[in-house]
């Protein structure tokens, strides 16, 4: 662990913890001392390059000045908004309003649409329990590393908190789940699940093989091919308060605007990366590919100074202003990196350094169609070739960039994020062999109990990402599980594309070295 990071993060933490307001999670467990070295590594690990500047005004709380029982009876619910309804009295504990938000989902549109293909991985993620189902005993096996238990009973959400997560990961994850229930009120089944907010997967496949040895089901933000952890959308879709990353819906608007500013062919014809190299050796290794007087690997690499950005109020960089290069590098940190979707939304061709981990959507993307694969064990030569190829074949490179961005902007808009969560939680709940119950240590959670006591960035992001009325249509329809042949072909097709690029690359360097 480098000193620099530690200093910066302390600085960073002081800043954010000063702003902290009492909330559901600020009780005994919220000691700032939880800031361990691991914590530090994890934080920087997940983010490489982006910051925002726009700070919209603090949105005031409005309470609808209407007779709600009339509304429920008379009008189609799509036109009515149900904003945060905070108790304004001093010293009165915020409770969850009753008879306010609709409790059933009555969509006005009756169109059936198929979910994006990456949804099919939900079946794969749940397949370890397909035969056995999930018993309470299996679930409790995941308790060891969980940060919280989430319980849904009769459309209400309860949480039992076990340990403090890194920053506000748990808060915004729970917020996201509450919003899902606002999108599809009354549609979520009863369930109990355990969630681990740390980076790396912890349920190794090799430990859970053979009959009567089903793994504990544990939700987290990323997994890998050697683990059974169940992947779930990360907190940043609802905002990353500590570094001022707005909710995804807002960021997407900024990036779409930003994309219009510079046409692909007018963008800087090099591979761009900006991030914290100190979280993983592969990132330090990447920096060796930076342009020098002697070598030009066609890259422009920069170190992200979060301390400086934080002190300057994140004024410098709007995510939408960072779509200025034809090529943008994605590289993992301590685990998967939250920066992935921001990088890929830019209309630039993503240069995707071979990853170890996967989040919930990347499995739907295909090399050469949505991004360009980069070797992890020979980054500089691989990058140089990729950029030169792109500059020789601008139409093709532009098309790959656009296909990747289209995927991120359309197949991963917030509606689909909620649909993904919906199908995942539904599929999971169907496997439960026991009746979910509200543990004695749990508290009821609703948007009001989470947001009303907050102030500042967290409150602003919650207001911005809040779902104010139920969806006017049903969730998309998820395709059935892959049959083994289709799955095999899909993986082989991806491997083929990667091999194809590697062959071109080897040929290029062979010729080049011959010529010299």
Cβ atoms of 366 and 345 within 8 Å: the answer is: no
253 three-state secondary structure: helix
Binding segment (CB under 6 A) for ligand NAG, from list 5-13, 64-72, 173-181, 336-344: 64-72
53 vs 366, beta carbon nearer ligand NAG: 366
Cβ atoms of 235 and 169 within 8 Å: the answer is: yes
Among 41, 122, 301, 462, binds ligand NAG (CB under 6 A): 301
Instruction: By CB under 6 A, tell whether 61 contacts ligand NAG.
Output: no
Instruction: By CB under 6 A, tell whether 19 contacts ligand NAG.
Output: no
Tokens (6 digits) for 323: 């779509």
Rounded to the nearest whole angstrom, what is the least distance from the CB of residue 140 to ligand NAG in the complex? 36
Instruction: By CB under 6 A, tell whether 91 contacts ligand NAG.
Output: yes
Instruction: By CB under 6 A, tell whether 287 contacts ligand NAG.
Output: yes
215-244 binders of ligand NAG (CB under 6 A): none
Cβ atoms of 236 and 456 within 8 Å: the answer is: no
Rounded to the nearest whole angstrom, what is the least distance from the CB of residue 456 to ligand NAG in the complex? 7
Binding segment (CB under 6 A) for ligand NAG, from list 148-156, 174-182, 299-307, 402-410: 299-307
Spell out where 174-248 has E strands. Answer: 191-195, 219-220, 223-224, 230-231
Residue 323 is classified by DSSP as -
Instruction: By CB under 6 A, tell whether 290 contacts ligand NAG.
Output: yes
Tokens (6 digits) for 244: 């001022």
128 vs 390, beta carbon nearer ligand NAG: 390
Q: Bridge-partner residues for 161, per DSSP?
A: 148
94-123 binders of ligand NAG (CB under 6 A): 110, 112
Rounded to the nearest whole angstrom, what is the least distance from the CB of residue 323 to ligand NAG in the complex? 19
**Residue found under tokens 């902290």:** 20
Rounded to the nearest whole angstrom, what is the least distance from the CB of residue 511 to ligand NAG in the complex? 7
Cα–Cα nearest to 86, from 456, 457, 447, 468: 447
Instruction: By CB under 6 A, tell whether 492 contacts ligand NAG.
Output: yes
Instruction: By CB under 6 A, tell whether 389 contacts ligand NAG.
Output: yes
Among 388, 406, 433, 434, binds ligand NAG (CB under 6 A): 388
Residue 259 is classified by DSSP as H
Instruction: By CB under 6 A, tell whether 90 contacts ligand NAG.
Output: yes
206 three-state secondary structure: helix
Cβ atoms of 310 and 317 within 8 Å: the answer is: no
Q: Give φ, ψ of 141 to 5 degrees.
A: -65, -20
Cα–Cα nearest to 230, from 365, 39, 417, 425: 425
Residue 411 is classified by DSSP as I
d(CA 295, CA 293) in angstroms, rounded, equals 6
117 vs 290, beta carbon nearer ligand NAG: 290
290 vs 394, beta carbon nearer ligand NAG: 290
94 vs 350, beta carbon nearer ligand NAG: 94
70 vs 212, beta carbon nearer ligand NAG: 70
Instruction: By CB under 6 A, tell whether 124 contacts ligand NAG.
Output: no
d(CA 49, CA 317) in angstroms, rounded, equals 10
d(CA 490, CA 496) in angstroms, rounded, equals 10
117 three-state secondary structure: helix
Binding segment (CB under 6 A) for ligand NAG, from list 171-179, 204-212, 296-304, 434-442: 296-304
For the CA atoms of the chain, what is the radius of gyration? 23
Tokens (6 digits) for 389: 């190829």
Instruction: By CB under 6 A, tell whether 496 contacts ligand NAG.
Output: yes
Instruction: By CB under 6 A, tell whether 302 contacts ligand NAG.
Output: yes
For the chain, the first-to-last Cα distance in angstroms comes to 42
Instruction: By CB under 6 A, tell whether 508 contacts ligand NAG.
Output: yes
Rounded to the nearest whole angstrom, what is the least distance from the CB of residue 218 to ligand NAG in the complex? 32
246 three-state secondary structure: coil
Cβ atoms of 115 and 85 within 8 Å: the answer is: no
Cβ atoms of 488 and 495 within 8 Å: the answer is: no
Rounded to the nearest whole angstrom, what is the least distance from the CB of residue 91 to ligand NAG in the complex? 4
Binding mask 66-85 for ligand NAG (x = CB under 6 A): -x-xx---------------
Among 80, 291, 366, 399, binds ligand NAG (CB under 6 A): 291
Interacting residue ranges for ligand NAG, rule: CB under 6 A: 21, 67, 69-70, 90-91, 110, 112, 287, 290-291, 300-303, 385, 388-389, 392, 455, 489, 492-493, 496, 508
């Amino acid at each position: 662990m480098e000193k620099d990071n530690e200093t910066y993060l302390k600085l960073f933490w002081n800043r954010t913890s000063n702003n902290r307001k009492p909330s559901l999670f600020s009780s005994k467990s919220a000691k700032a001392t939880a800031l361990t070295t691991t914590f530090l590594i994890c934080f920087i690990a997940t983010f490489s390059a982006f910051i925002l500047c726009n700070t919209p005004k603090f949105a005031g709380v409005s309470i609808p000045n209407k007779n709600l029982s009339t509304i429920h009876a008379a009008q189609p619910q799509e036109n009515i908004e149900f904003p945060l309804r905070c108790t304004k009295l001093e010293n009165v504990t915020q409770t969850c309003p009753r008879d306010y938000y609709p409790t059933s989902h009555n969509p006005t549109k009756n169109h059936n649409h198929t979910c994006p293909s990456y949804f099919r991985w939900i079946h794969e993620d749940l397949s370890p329990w397909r035969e056995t189902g999930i018993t309470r005993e299996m679930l409790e096996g995941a308790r060891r590393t969980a940060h919280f238990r989430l319980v849904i009973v009769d459309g209400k959400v309860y949480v039992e908190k076990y340990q403090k997560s890194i920053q506000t990961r748990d808060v915004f994850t729970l917020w996201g789940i509450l919003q899902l229930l606002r999108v599809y009120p009354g549609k979520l089944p009863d369930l109990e699940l355990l969630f681990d907010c740390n980076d790396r997967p912890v349920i190794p496949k090799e430990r859970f093989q053979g009959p009567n040895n089903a793994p504990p089901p544990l939700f987290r933000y990323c997994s890998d091919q050697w683990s059974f952890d169940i992947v779930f959308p990360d907190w940043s879709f609802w905002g990353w308060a500590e570094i001022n990353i707005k909710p995804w819906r807002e960021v997407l608007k900024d990036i779409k605007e930003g994309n219009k500013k510079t046409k692909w062919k007018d963008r800087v014809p090099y591979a761009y990366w900006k991030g914290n190299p100190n979280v993983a050796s592969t990132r330090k290794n990447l920096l060796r590919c930076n342009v020098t007087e002697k070598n030009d690997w066609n890259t422009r690499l920069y170190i992200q100074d979060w301390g400086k950005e934080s002190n300057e109020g994140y004024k410098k960089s709007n995510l939408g202003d960072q779509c200025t290069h034809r090529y943008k590098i994605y590289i993992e940190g301590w685990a998967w990196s939250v920066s992935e979707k921001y990088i890929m939304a830019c209309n630039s061709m993503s240069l995707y350094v071979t990853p170890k981990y996967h989040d919930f959507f990347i499995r739907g993307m295909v090399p050469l169609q949505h991004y360009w694969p980069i070797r992890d064990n020979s980054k500089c030569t691989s990058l140089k070739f990729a950029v030169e190829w792109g500059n020789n074949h601008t139409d093709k490179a532009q098309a790959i960039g656009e296909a990747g961005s289209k995927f991120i902007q359309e197949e991963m808009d917030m509606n689909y994020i909620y649909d993904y969560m919906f199908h995942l939680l539904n599929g999971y709940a169907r496997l439960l062999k026991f009746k979910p119950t509200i543990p004695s240590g749990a508290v009821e959670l609703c948007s009001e109990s989470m947001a009303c006591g907050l102030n500042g960035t967290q409150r602003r992001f919650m207001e911005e990402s809040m779902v104010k009325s139920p969806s006017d249509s049903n969730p998309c329809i998820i395709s059935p599980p892959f049959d083994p042949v289709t799955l095999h072909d899909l993986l082989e097709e991806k491997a083929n594309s990667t091999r194809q690029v590697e062959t071109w690359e080897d040929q290029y360097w062979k010729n080049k070295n011959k010529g010299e």
